[in-house]
Structure 1
Amino acid sequence: MKTIILAVSALATLTSAAVHAKDPDVKRFEHGGNVYSYTVTSTDNGRVIEGVEEKTGKPFTLRVGKHRVRGTVGSQQVSFTLRDVKPLDKPATTLASR
């Protein structure tokens, strides 16, 4: 599960921070055979990544600060440093984007 969270964080960290408050772009990617959809919203303290694993419907929310990522995946609390986030071995493929 940490690998999935790190993949989402790495992808969101590398993507553009251009987000529209009224209509955030829903992004999708595949990792480990699962498809995830998510949005990234900029805040005063960093970014918030909210999404869902499409097959199970398990939601996740990650708050990305300057040095740390905190949040929940399903009902499980997660917390790790940004330096723990490793780039993906190959570029992530966006399955669909508005």
Structure 2
Amino acid sequence: MTRELCVLGNHAIEGEVLREAVIDARDMCSMNFAREEHKKLEKILLNFVIPAMGGYDNQLACDIARHVEQIRTFSGNFCWRHRHLGASHGVVGKRAEMGEGGAQ
């Protein structure tokens, strides 16, 4: 995220003011993309890796599951409430400059 300060004069400021931060549509688009990528990683970890480790009887598997949950919880599910802001820079969940295979 960009955190630069710019004096705009009489120009309108676009964005949504949050309690302690301002997030613009491009940043929200990145958060939407991050949410979708996290969902894919979570599916791999919970459906394949953790069972291969012996399930939740394995302490490391429990730690992985806990960290996955904490990422979603403490990120506010990647700013889910404001997900619509990113739609102007790409479909919600996909960055305009990102294809199916990753960065282009």
Q: Return the TM-score normalized by structure 2.
A: 0.29
RCO higher in 1 or 2 (8 Å CA, sep ≥ 6)? 2
- Structure whose residues are more often helix by fraction: 2
- Structure whose residues are more often strand by fraction: 1
Task: Name which one, 1 or 2, has greater alpha-carbon Rg.
Answer: 2
